[in-house]
């Protein structure tokens, strides 16, 4: 039997960004879609690790989220650190609301929005750890469509819940029909059989319900019902109370939760409460000292996690006199998401970074993070300055006090590199910048080689070495490359051009080695893999 799927115009195509900030439809095998863009470091802030392992640091990435996610999954240096290792992805994608404001353009038609989301969710799936989860923030505009799309990508069995966030603190009296007071957060697991949420801290009101009327040395407790509706073969039997009263059994149509033998064991351990006169229906004593926390629920009131206005207030406190995003999320909202879905040291990813709320909260909570923002203006105006304040301990708002944050750590600021290709009249050429070491790094990224600097080799992949020739590969080049191979090694030689004899000679001198031309042989996936 088939499964339910969602169809839309352009589903079989892909989208690429255009210079004016819009999108253009192209075939899914277009080289600008399949290529792996380099991630180029601009600078670092605060404490970062050894330069030999820059991918282990927190990452602020400027550029298109698709290109950034593609790089994280395909460039070996990044893939080894992030592919299958991200514990939480939280994304607040542009809503299809038709509302335009200074820092984003939300005017995306449904088909564009769905294609954009589909292509990014597929990459996110590859980045998630086996016990990871993805949380997608939505409003009514795409709520009818996105769950079906996510069912296609992650599997319906991996749907966890829909969180309802009360985003406003008062009704909107100017609403034409109904005041919309909430947003949605869709939660999917990479594998629902493996994923487990962290319990939330208990509240004083919850703990106040615990008493200790029998002065049990294990501390305060509250009675739990021993009667259940679910049928249980061993759950029907008479019970004699300590006072001698015989209870013929549970109420009609109901069952004791435990067998007669287990009830006897619990009573001997002092875990059964019979009432002050020792003649009540038995109740299980649930000790506060044995309670882990409270199970996360799907209704999140603003009193617990903040509202849109509190999110704006946090941004305005950091950037006085500046107009914040239309709907920035409060830090307490992200704190709850991160608390439920991760542990300290886990990796948190947000590929629609905006003002950097997710990264800021993750940093304060001791998580590693990657955040991606498309707009350089947004990064320079909001995202980077905000994260610098967090690192420097100059952000007193949000969850700073709750997390006892005082500064520290750091991050690297990288940007998505330009395309390796220029396309004119349907023909593909190497971009003008693709020369020398820049060409070598780009070719290594396309073919999945770890970059190395060991001339003539520019990359390694197991026992295979990559040689990138910025020019013509001829017999002399082939002999020089093969002479540098170690025992059992093979090579992939990529050049901008090659003489007819070069490929034959390479096969003779090093059987199994291959010669490829750029860009022609890079445009077909699997050619050198």
pLDDT (tens digit, 9 = 90+) per residue, 242-272? 999 999 999 999 999 999 999 999 999 999 9
* pLDDT at position 304 over 70: yes
* Upper half-sphere CA count for residue 230 (Cβ side, 13 Å): 3
* pLDDT at position 352 over 70: yes
Cα separation, 506 vs 223, whole angstroms: 80
* Residue 412 φ/ψ, nearest 5 degrees: -105, 140
Q: What confidence score (pLDDT) does residue 49 get?
A: 82
Q: What confidence score (pLDDT) does residue 353 get?
A: 95
Contact 41, 75 (CB under 8 A): no
Q: What is the mean pLDDT of residues 326-352?
A: 95
3-class SS letters over 108-119: CCHHHHHHHHHH
Of the listed ranges 42-51, 55-64, 117-126, 416-425, the least confidently predicted one is 42-51
Q: What confidence score (pLDDT) does residue 201 get?
A: 92
Q: What is the mean pLDDT of residues 89-97?
A: 81
Cα separation, 425 vs 430, whole angstroms: 14
* pLDDT at position 96 over 70: no
* pLDDT at position 107 over 70: no
Q: What confidence score (pLDDT) does residue 46 get?
A: 93
Of the listed ranges 200-204, 300-304, 342-346, 380-384, the least confidently predicted one is 200-204
* Residue 149 φ/ψ, nearest 5 degrees: -60, -45
Of the listed ranges 44-58, 169-183, 201-215, the least confidently predicted one is 44-58
- Model confidence band, residue 19 (pLDDT cutoffs 50, 70, 90): confident
Where in the chain are the domains? 38-197+295-416, 204-290, 421-522
Structure tokens at 331: 């830090």
Q: What is the mean pLDDT of residues 221-235?
A: 93
Q: What confidence score (pLDDT) does residue 1 get?
A: 52
Contact 368, 348 (CB under 8 A): yes
Q: What confidence score (pLDDT) does residue 51 get?
A: 62
Cα separation, 70 vs 68, whole angstroms: 5
Q: What confidence score (pLDDT) does residue 23 get?
A: 78
* pLDDT at position 299 over 70: yes
CATH class of domain segment(s) 38-197+295-416: alpha beta
* Residue 468 φ/ψ, nearest 5 degrees: -110, 120
Cα separation, 73 vs 332, whole angstroms: 30
pLDDT (tens digit, 9 = 90+) per residue, 125-159? 999 999 999 999 999 988 999 999 999 999 999 99
Q: Please state the pTM of the whole predicted model.
A: 0.89
Q: What confidence score (pLDDT) does residue 338 get?
A: 99
Contact 243, 278 (CB under 8 A): yes
Of the listed ranges 212-216, 318-322, 330-334, the least confidently predicted one is 318-322
Q: What confidence score (pLDDT) does residue 282 get?
A: 96
Cα separation, 123 vs 126, whole angstroms: 5
Mean pLDDT, the chain, as a whole number?
A: 92
Helix (H) or strand (E) holding 254: none
* pLDDT at position 75 over 70: yes
Of the listed ranges 46-60, 175-189, 198-212, the least confidently predicted one is 46-60
Q: What is the mean pLDDT of residues 205-217?
A: 94
Q: What confidence score (pLDDT) does residue 106 get?
A: 54
Per cent of the chain over pLDDT 70 is: 94
Q: What confidence score (pLDDT) does residue 214 get?
A: 95
Q: What confidence score (pLDDT) does residue 322 get?
A: 85
pLDDT (tens digit, 9 = 90+) per residue, 407-466? 999 999 999 999 999 988 888 999 999 999 999 999 999 999 999 999 999 999 999 999
Q: What confidence score (pLDDT) does residue 5 get?
A: 82
pLDDT (tens digit, 9 = 90+) per residue, 383-404? 999 999 999 999 999 999 999 9
């Amino acid at each position: 039997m088939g499964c339910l799927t969602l169809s839309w115009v352009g589903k079989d195509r892909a989208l690429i960004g255009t210079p004016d900030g819009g999108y253009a439809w192209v075939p899914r095998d277009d080289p600008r879609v399949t290529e792996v863009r380099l991630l180029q470091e601009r600078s670092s802030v605060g404490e970062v690790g050894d330069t030999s392992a820059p991918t282990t640091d927190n990452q602020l990435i400027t550029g298109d989220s698709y290109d950034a996610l593609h790089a994280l999954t395909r460039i070996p240096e990044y893939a080894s650190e992030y592919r299958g290792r991200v514990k939480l992805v939280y994304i607040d994608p542009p809503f299809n609301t038709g509302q335009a404001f200074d820092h984003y353009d939300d005017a995306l038609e449904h088909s564009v929005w769905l294609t954009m989301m589909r292509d990014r969710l597929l990459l996110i799936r590859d980045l998630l750890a086996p016990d990871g989860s993805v949380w997608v923030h939505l409003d009514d505009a795409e709520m009818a469509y996105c769950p079906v799309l996510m069912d296609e990508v992650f599997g319906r069995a991996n749907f966890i819940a829909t969180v309802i966030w009360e985003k406003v603190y008062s009704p909107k009296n100017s609403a034409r029909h109904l005041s919309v007071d909430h947003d949605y957060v869709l939660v999917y697991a990479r594998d629902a059989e493996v994923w487990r949420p962290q319990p939330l801290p208990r509240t004083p009101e919850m703990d106040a319900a615990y008493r200790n009327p029998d002065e049990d040395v294990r501390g305060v407790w509250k009675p739990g019902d021993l009667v259940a509706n679910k049928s249980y073969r061993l759950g029907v039997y008479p019970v004699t109370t300590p006072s001698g009263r015989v209870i013929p059994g549970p109420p009609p149509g109901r069952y004791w939760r435990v067998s007669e033998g287990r009830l006897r064991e619990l009573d001997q351990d002092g875990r059964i409460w019979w009432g002050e006169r020792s003649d009540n229906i038995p109740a299980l004593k649930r000790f506060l000292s044995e309670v882990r926390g409270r199970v996360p629920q799907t209704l999140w009131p603003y009193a617990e996690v903040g509202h849109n206005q509190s999110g704006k207030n946090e941004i305005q406190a950091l950037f006085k006199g500046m107009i914040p995003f239309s709907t920035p999320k409060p830090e307490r909202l992200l704190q709850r998401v991160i608390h439920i879905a991760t542990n300290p040291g886990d990796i948190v990813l947000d590929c629609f970074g905006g003002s950097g709320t997710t990264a800021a909260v993750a940093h304060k909570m001791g998580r590693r993070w990657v955040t991606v923002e498309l707009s350089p203006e947004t990064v320079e105006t909001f995202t980077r300055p905000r994260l610098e304040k967090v690192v420097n301990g100059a952000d007193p708002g949000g969850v700073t006090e709750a997390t006892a944050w005082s500064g520290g750590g750091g991050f690297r600021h990288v940007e998505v590199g330009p395309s390796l290709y220029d396309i004119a009249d349907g023909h593909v050429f190497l971009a003008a910048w693709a020369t020398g070491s820049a060409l070598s790094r780009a070719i290594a990224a396309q073919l999945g080689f770890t970059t190395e600097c060991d001339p003539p080799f520019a990359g390694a992949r197991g026992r295979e070495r990559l040689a990138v020739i910025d020019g013509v590969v001829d017999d002399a080049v082939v002999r020089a490359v093969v002479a540098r191979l170690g025992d059992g090694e093979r090579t992939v030689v990529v050049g901008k051009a090659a003489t007819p004899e070069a490929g034959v000679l390479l096969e003779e001198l090093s059987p199994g080695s291959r010669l490829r031309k750029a860009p022609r042989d890079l445009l077909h996936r699997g050619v050198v893999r």
